[in-house]
Amino acid sequence: MAKTSAKPRVSVIVPNYNHEPFLRARLQSIFAQTLTDFEVIYLDDASTDNSNEVAQEFSNDPRFALVKSSTNSGNPFVQWNKGVSLAKGDLVWIAESDDRAEAQLLAGLVAALDAEPQAAFAYC
C-alpha cells in the first residue's frame, strides 16, 4: 500500500486493465497536478500487456502504490471498491487509466468541495 504514513487529502484510484498505450500519460498527468497532497493507488486487474512495467516507472514516488490482481475481475466497479477500501485520503478521485487531466483539475475540484461542504462529489 502507500509508502507514507501521513494522511493525504486525496486518494487517487487508478484502475487499469490493458491500457498500456495510455497509462504513462495518465500517470504523468496525475503527478503533474498543482495540488500535490495525494496518494496514488494503481490497481492492475491482471493486465496481459506491459501496463505494470509502465506503472513501475512511478514507483520511486512515495505517494504511489502498485496493487496487482492475479485474476481479472471482469468488472471495473470491483476495482473501484477495492481502491476505496484502500484509500487513506479525505477525498477520492477515480482516475480511469485511459484518460488524462489538466494540471489544475484536482486543485479546482477540491476547492469546489471545500466551498460547498455539503456536496457529496465534484466532477468535470
Strand partners, 13: 41, 94
The H or E element that residue 11 is part of is strand 10-16
- 68 with 75: CB under 8 angstroms? no
Coil, helix or strand at residue 32:
coil
Residues 6+ apart with CB under 8 A from 53: none
Predicted confidence at residue 66, as pLDDT, reads 97
Predicted confidence at residue 2, as pLDDT, reads 42
Predicted confidence at residue 124, as pLDDT, reads 83
Predicted confidence at residue 102, as pLDDT, reads 98
Predicted confidence at residue 18, as pLDDT, reads 97
Chunked into runs of 10 residues, the chain (124 residues) has average pLDDT values of 72 98 98 98 98 98 97 94 97 96 97 95 87
Q: Is the pTM of this model over 0.85?
A: yes
Predicted confidence at residue 56, as pLDDT, reads 98
